[in-house]
Structure 1
């Protein structure tokens, strides 16, 4: 059943694993709002998907006349304004388990002590314990649930338990829940029987990128395979390197990324590569122009992420008109609209690496299709429309809190395939 509203469309699936998913369809302008962005590393964006979303959405909200405050940590820039957004720099404890929570705690205290925003977007389900404080101050709050963080191997038993508990607490205390992919929305519908706001990420459309950067690394345009990922088991970097090392590929494999908390896994990847001269480790690359060039001039992009929703790295490859070899999980299939080659283990990758270099027409066809999908389905202007619409509804008093406050997790496990 589809119920049309003047601002949103509520899509209610009939299957038992689904609940309403709210997607923005049209934008109705109202008074200027004051909006806080909490729980990320902030701006300028130099790290991940959250930060990119905050920057891309925040600057568009400013252009539409809203006041946007972004809480930031660890930025080399100490400017108090960026692209029209107010930037509040606060410290954080430099320790894996405490960095995000310590910074969000200080950000919450700052929000409580200063002029009350009309709405707050809190990113990361782990930050849900701070929602009651914001709501008690009269700040309507939407919680961006991100991916299934508790499934990441970097967390021990206590960390996984915390994230699972934080999910439930967020469901019970938020005024709205944000899902960045239909699979994430379906997960919360199945586990907690609650609706979510489907707000994706946007894809940068990357064309006409100079080749100087990659040539400086000894690479040729359309002449290498690319991996960009944190070195974590659920990103399958080890399997990618193993599969490539066993393949007959002639083009080099360029690996971008590192693992600040996982030296053992990094060592396993290095050991799998051995002394294979075809495998090039670049470490972390933070020069955005060079990253764009690496994506745009790759023959294929190999995407091993498995526990997130809509992944910004995958969108970047699609926007750069690059064909994808993706890990076979529902999130990746949905984003790619099944237009990719998929793998579940290193054996699949041996086949892909060994054969695709001989199929340039097929690679080019999927690359072009990826960019077309990025241009249509993942537009930052549309994403900003969604955040603006949600902020307006929150400021007007709309809330799912009465529905979510007594939610319980179902005993039936979610199908992650």
Structure 2
């Protein structure tokens, strides 16, 4: 039996890890994935399914995000330990401080995806960063296999801990739906969680200095940071501040009709929103960091500050990296490849 710990749960309703689990539990003829248990937060599911796509669902009465995520993950691991799982896939390091005790209680193989160096994110205070860094250290020490979603993360793990990790990214092929018409209706697109490390303000400042229309999708009302930016930049005629869109068809329509895509993430390894967009054949402008360079094989256009982004926006008509993005995505970022790699690791 394989147990999956560390997400809100399935059906996917939150973020990248949840989407990953959604595709890991796809029913196939393979024998290895016939017996999967996914731990879910009952706080996020008014309707509690017993199974989903053949996987058994176990609900914990704890929130899966924020400070409670530590308790949520630990409670899930305790349940795993007493239900004789053969392998446990841990997504994120929040509850990994419990791993030394879990190893005493269970002989299960432990495979941990350490996510995108969560402790470096600007949204955390000093105490939270220290805790997450310590959890990461414990995860690397007590896991049988470490998964990094980006080569830059793998390089960090090897340099920091002397441990080699397996690099497995995310799939993005689900983002393209049948019947799409690919056009250019003269707007740039940006899509992300509204957090400082995603360089939201840099992107907005740059477009406020140009006439190029921008549609920027995000959870603006989820923080004071987002609300302040929404209030300030909604005043610009060319900037359209859009609330979160989770409907894959609506997202596909926007992605297929934009002129180009702007990706401001500076943390988090391989970002699902980036690999999804790479399938649409549009030129991509990325904030210049080792994660984004690794994800796009350095074929995107890169910017480091507002002035550099303004220059790229003004020269956008001459950009032509869209086909390179599609080629990379089809070669590296399919769910079939991701599924195979995960299950091979858990079966060894």
TM over 0.5: yes
Secondary structure of the 2:269 match is coil
Residue deviations 1:342-395, cap 9 Å, x none? Answer: 111111121122221x33xx44xx2122112111122221211111111111xx
Secondary structure of the 2:94 match is helix
Matched, 1:120 2:88: yes
* Matched ranges for 1:262-411 at <5 A: 262-263=223-224, 265-356=225-316, 358-359=317-318, 362-363=319-320, 366-393=321-348
The aligned counterpart of 1:257 is 218
Inter-partner Cα distance in structure 1 for 2:314 and 2:288: 19
The aligned counterpart of 2:99 is 131
Secondary structure of the 1:201 match is coil
Once the two structures are TM-superposed, the CA of residue 83 in structure 1 deviates from its matched residue by 1.5
Once the two structures are TM-superposed, the CA of residue 259 in structure 1 deviates from its matched residue by 5.4
Once the two structures are TM-superposed, the CA of residue 56 in structure 1 deviates from its matched residue by 1.1
The aligned counterpart of 1:225 is 188
The aligned counterpart of 1:10 is none
TM-score, length-scaled by structure 2: 0.92
Larger helix proportion of the pair: 2
The aligned counterpart of 1:217 is none
Secondary structure of the 1:45 match is coil
Q: Is the 8 A contact 1:122 1:141 kept in 2?
A: yes
Inter-partner Cα distance in structure 1 for 2:194 and 2:47: 27
Matched, 1:157 2:126: yes
Secondary structure of the 2:36 match is strand
Unaligned runs of 5+ in 1: 1-33, 212-219, 394-417
Q: 1:320 to 1:85 in 2, by over 3 A?
A: farther
Once the two structures are TM-superposed, the CA of residue 246 in structure 1 deviates from its matched residue by 0.8
Moved more, 319-328 or 268-277: 268-277
Residue deviations 1:121-164, cap 9 Å, x none? Answer: 00102221232343222222111111111111111010011111
The aligned counterpart of 1:72 is 40
Q: Is the 8 A contact 2:188 2:260 kept in 1?
A: yes
Out of 48, 53, 58, the position equivalent to 2:15 is 48
Secondary structure of the 1:165 match is helix
Matched, 1:235 2:204: no
Q: Is the 8 A contact 1:232 1:259 kept in 2?
A: no
Residue deviations 1:179-198, cap 9 Å, x none? Answer: 11111010010011111121
Once the two structures are TM-superposed, the CA of residue 247 in structure 1 deviates from its matched residue by 1.5
The number of residue pairs the alignment matches comes to: 342
Once the two structures are TM-superposed, the CA of residue 76 in structure 1 deviates from its matched residue by 4.8
Considering only aligned residues, what root-mean-square deviation do their CA atoms show, in Å?
2.1
Q: Is the 8 A contact 2:286 2:300 kept in 1?
A: yes
Higher Cα Rg, which structure: 1
Q: 1:389 to 1:52 in 2, by over 3 A?
A: same
Out of 182, 194, 208, the position equivalent to 2:163 is 194
Q: Is the 8 A contact 1:129 1:166 kept in 2?
A: yes
Secondary structure of the 1:162 match is helix
* Higher relative contact order (CA closer than 8 Å, sequence separation 6+): 1
Inter-partner Cα distance in structure 1 for 2:46 and 2:217: 22
TM-score, length-scaled by structure 1: 0.77
